[in-house]
Amino acid sequence: MRRYFFLPLTLPFLVLLIFLLTILFILFAGTITLAFQKLGLPLPVAFTLFWASLIGSFINIPVKEIRSYGPIVRVAKVSFFGITYPVPYVDWGEQKTIVSVNVGGALVPLSVVLYELLRLIVLEQNDLLIRVAVAVFVSTIVSKTFSRPVKGLGIAIPTFVPPLVAALLALTIGASNKPLVAYTSGTMGVLIGADLLNWNKLKDLGAPMVSIGGAGTFDGIFLAGVIAVLLV
């Protein structure tokens, strides 16, 4: 009977695949940790934030339920000669959309931003605080301009637009702390411009749940800040 059972991959190829995936994970972890270190965070804190982002990407916290009325695709069952056929039809009814916040994709980046802003306030670095505010404002406008609601998915935005804009702002007005300006403007620009300013469009997405930062470590909020920091 053994000849009827076989591995989908040969053993050497399987070992090579596991090795390559391990290397990619280590490189990914190192890149994210490096970005947090450039913000002035100690290595243990940066490493902890990476794992918090990764594990938190599986956690969504519901914050609001949005109800709306619109066309809903339903399926009726029709029997013919003993065979049941599904027949889709369009009905009008109430739709419920649960809006949630992803821990790894939204709350972790937001906590880093709040920590950095509080540190600027305590150190009375008002000039840098103003520069951060200007950068966030500009980044928010750009994110709002490029973001689009996609039915059944959520609010979409070109991946590399926010980090490139944030990096350019940091290089232009970042002064002595370009990584901070890059991370804050990249993160908050997407959160405010793409997500919060499109809040009234969430009910039209036709999705049972919409998660802010829902792509976790690959979400626009998270990646915008990390990539922007690495670019400066």
The DSSP line for 60-111 is EEEEEEEEEEEEEEEEEEEEETTEEEEEEEEEEEEEEEEEEEEIIIIIHHHH
Coil vs helix vs strand at 150? strand
Residue 220, classified by CB atoms within 10 Å of its CB into exposed (0-12), middle (13-18) or buried (19+), is: buried
The DSSP line for 132-143 is HHHHHHHHHHHH
pLDDT tens column, 96-155: 888 889 898 889 999 999 999 999 999 889 999 999 999 999 999 999 999 888 876 778
- pLDDT score recorded for residue 27: 82
- Spatial separation of the C-alpha atoms in residues 218 and 232, rounded to whole Å: 20
- pLDDT score recorded for residue 89: 64
Establish how many alpha carbons lie within 13 A of residue 37's alpha carbon, considering only the half-sphere containing its beta carbon. 10
Percent of the chain past pLDDT 90, that is, above it, reads 25
Q: Which residue has the tokens 């990619």?
A: 24
Question: pTM for this one?
Answer: 0.80
- The domains of the chain are located at 8-67+96-231
- pLDDT score recorded for residue 183: 93
- pLDDT score recorded for residue 173: 92
Strand residue runs (E) in the chain = 60-80, 83-102, 148-150, 154-156, 209-212
